[in-house]
Amino acid sequence: MSKIIYLEPDEEITDVINKISKTDSDTVSLVIPRGSTLANSVVNLKLLTKKGKEFKKNVSIVSVDKNAKNLAAQIGLPVFSSASEAKEGMSAPEITSPVAKNLPDDDQDLEVTDGIKVHQYDKDQAGAVSGEQSEIVNPTTPPEEEVIEAVKDENEILINNDSNDSIQNEEALPEKNDYKLIKKPMTKDFGQNSGGFSGPSTFGKMRQGKKRRKIIIWSIGGSVALLITLGLFATLPKAKVRISVVSEPISEQAEIKVDKSASEVNFENLTIPGKSVVKEDILEEPFVASGTKNVGKPASGKITIYNTQNSDKKSFPTGTKFSSTSGIEFVSTADAEVPGAQFIVVNNVPILQNAGKIDVAVQATSPGASGNIEPTNFTITSLEKIYQAGYNGKSTVAMSGGNDSIVKVVTDGDLANAKTSAENDLKNKIIEAIKAEISENDKLLDSAIGVSVVSGVSSAKSGDIADNFNYKVSSKVEAITFSEADFKELITKNVSSKLGEGKMIVESGNQEIKYEVTNADIAGGKISLKGSFSGYVAKKYDQAELKKEIKGKAVSTATTKLTAHEGVLSADIVISPKFLRTLPFLANRIELEFIYGTQ
């Protein structure tokens, strides 16, 4: 079975011979792609045959190219139409080609060049023998010198493939063992018609065709280059013109209404559409109690009540209050009745002999160690002041048992502060939620917001012992929003309507637009805004006309034309590329920038 070797279109003959030498198989088939230079050279095919014999290998080719088949058939090289046929050894039908008559003998008409015999083809003799053509048509211009190859050959055949791919002439040369590859200048008659051929030679046609193609290509290239140059000249230049223009300040005010029932901006009655937004939410927040309370034990002891007022007995109920000289207050824990005092009369004057007295248990009104006081005098504060001198108390033993235990308690102030804080926080929370829902251009003013508290409750009462407590509030927010763009458009147009003809408002960073709410009917969905506009006005210029005036003009001419306009202070022109001194001819390549200032 034949060894199949697939070749590349541009593979060199030396690489192919190397592949054949390394093949183990005795039979080698070379698959030659269409357009390969290898198959279209009889020298290469003969060299393959020769080397195959040296390597003792049967070499064949696989090709569908007609020219390759013809050349291979002339030197006896087997040709297959497909790789499968080559593997099976099924040779394609041999192509038979007519051989030219009257070929020269082995050594006839051979020219010796550098020791190598080269056959010179005699077109006149061939034409006389064939009798098919009476005259030769020479090309109008002599062809350039070409290089041909002379190789060791058995049959040298001149092939000219016509439209029917037939071989018209064949020239056989004898085998010369010492032939080698040489290069020889081509004679001026080589390549012209011989035998039965007429008209310009194939080489001449190719040469003339190449020249024509070069001329056409250069012509097209030159035209394209010219068009590109003209196009770049028209489109590449660019000019930036900075025009300084006089401007003057202006300030206007307008009363603008916002109405939720309006569907569009009304320039006649200065009304813009508004949106009514209603949102309700609940918030519960923790708070810290600020009050303190001593829940320790109160001090207790005994007080002796003295009656120095009269001889009548006096009852003191439970809860009678006693105040020490240091201000500590005690109360009795039981009823007491003090007997009357004993008096003697001396010179009709009653003199106290023995005061009535009784002991009563008491307890401090406030807990804490502060009630543990030493023996002291007490004023009975439960009595009217006119009797306090006749009835008093005194302790003979220190009070005891009082201790401190301080705890936090909720105060009235804590509850009031919690209510205010929770309501404000919930209001802000709802407003932020509304702002997040409206569009970026919509404006929500504080004066256009109405808040109503639905409910509020605390988790602790005033006086309750607690470190912390919660306050829960529910509120509803109603608001009117409007488009800031609508407001600016309306007030700007209102100001523009008051300008003189040919003037315009200058759009700049110095422009300032303000608004404030003068009246709000949140429930009705209406608010009134006092709008104020501050900015600058200047003369209006037609940019298209200005560009038309200066396009294609020199810089100095364009500057003169621009500064001739009313209100134009100066003109600065920058052209790119910088080497140009003329503005572009296309208006769209000119950029105008107006700089407004005061004169």
Residue 140, CA distances (Å) to 133, 137, 192, 330, 561 in order: 19, 9, 11, 151, 66
According to DSSP, residue 566 is labeled T
Q: How is 151-173 classified by DSSP, letter by letter?
A: ---S--------TT---------
**382 and 434 fall within a common domain:** no
Helix, strand, coil content of the chain in percent (nearest 5):
25, 35, 40
> Do 378 and 443 share a domain, yes or no?
no
Same domain, 385 and 457: no
* Residue owning tokens 């763009």: 485
Whether residue 107 is predicted with pLDDT greater than 50 in this model: the reply is: no
Q: Give Cα separations from 63 to 69, 83, 476 (angstroms).
A: 7, 9, 94
Indicate the pairing of strand 442-458 with strand 238-259.
unpaired
CB contact burial 33-43 (16+ within 10 A = b; e otherwise): beebebbebbb
Q: How far apart are the C-alpha atoms of 63 and 161, rounded to whole Å?
A: 17
In DSSP notation, 421-458 reads HHHHHHHHHHHHHHHHHS-TTEEEEEEEEEEEEEEEEE
The angle at the Cα of 519, spanning 513 to 521, to the nearest 5 degrees, equals 125
- Confidence category of residue 133, pLDDT binned at 50, 70, 90: very low
Q: What is the pLDDT of residue 24?
A: 82
Instruction: Look at residue 268 and tell me if it is in a domain.
Output: no
Residue with tokens 């053509």: 133
CA distances from 40 to 209, 491, 511 (A): 22, 88, 84
Residue 67 carries which side chain, given as an amino acid letter? N
Q: What is the pLDDT of residue 130?
A: 39
Which of 182, 207, 232 lies at the terminal end of a domain, its last residue?
207
321 and 283 in one domain?
A: no
Specify the pLDDT at position 15: 85
Lowest mean pLDDT among 49-53, 396-400, 559-563: 49-53
CB 144 within 8 A of CB 196: no
Tokens of 165: 């791919």
* Whether pLDDT at 472 is above 90: yes
DSSP secondary structure code for residue 260 in this structure: T
Strand partners, 391: 307
The confidence band for 81, taking pLDDT boundaries of 50, 70 and 90, is confident
Domain-terminating residue out of 401, 419, 448: 401
Give domain status of residue 90, yes or no: yes
Please report which confidence band the pLDDT of residue 143 belongs to, taking 50, 70 and 90 as the band edges: very low
Q: What is the average per-residue pLDDT within 169-188?
A: 43
Full domain range(s) for residue 388: 298-401
Q: What is the mean pLDDT of residues 366-370?
A: 94
In this structure, the dihedral spanned by the alpha carbons of residues 136, 139, 143 and 149, taken in order and rounded to 10 degrees, is -30
CB burial of residue 593 (10 Å; 0-12, 13-18, 19+): exposed
Residue 111 has pLDDT above 60, yes or no: no
Q: Are residues 155 and 36 part of one domain?
A: yes
Q: Are residues 91 and 195 in the same domain?
A: yes
Residues 344 and 429 in one domain: no
Cα distance between residue 61 and residue 42, in whole Å? 13
Q: Tell me the per-residue pLDDT of 381-392, one tens digit each, with 9 for 90 and over.
A: 999 999 999 999
Range with lowest mean pLDDT among 163-167, 496-500, 590-594 = 163-167
- The rounded distance, in Å, linking the Cα atoms of 478 and 469 is 30
Threshold 0.75, pTM exceeds = no
Per-residue pLDDT at 575 = 93
Q: Is residue 533 a part of any domain in this protein?
A: no
Residue 348 within a domain: yes
- Shared domain for 286 and 303, answered yes or no, is no
Angstrom distance (rounded) from CA 262 to CA 482:
11
Same domain, 284 and 303: no
Residue 29 and residue 4 in contact, taking contact as beta carbons nearer than 8 Å? yes
Q: Do 180 and 312 fall within a single domain? A: no
Which carries the bigger pLDDT value, residue 1 or residue 559?
A: 559
Q: What is the pLDDT of residue 103?
A: 40
Domain count for the chain, please give it. 3
* pLDDT score recorded for residue 16: 87
Please indicate, yes or no, if residue 367 is contained in any of the structural domains. yes
Q: Is residue 19 part of a domain?
A: yes
Phi, psi of 550 (to 5 degrees): -105, -10
Quote the pLDDT of residue 324: 96
Q: In this structure, is residue 501 part of a structural domain?
A: no
Among 106-120, 285-299, 332-346, which stretch is predicted with the lowest mean pLDDT?
Answer: 106-120
Residue 578 three-state SS? coil
Is pLDDT at 335 greater than 80 in this prediction? yes
Residues 98 and 185 in one domain: yes
Continuous segment of H or E residues that includes residue 118: strand 116-119
Q: Do 461 and 324 share a structural domain?
A: no
Residue 447 lies in a domain: yes
d(CA 182, CA 115): 10
d(CA 201, CA 193): 6
Q: Which of 189, 207, 225 is the last residue of a domain?
A: 207
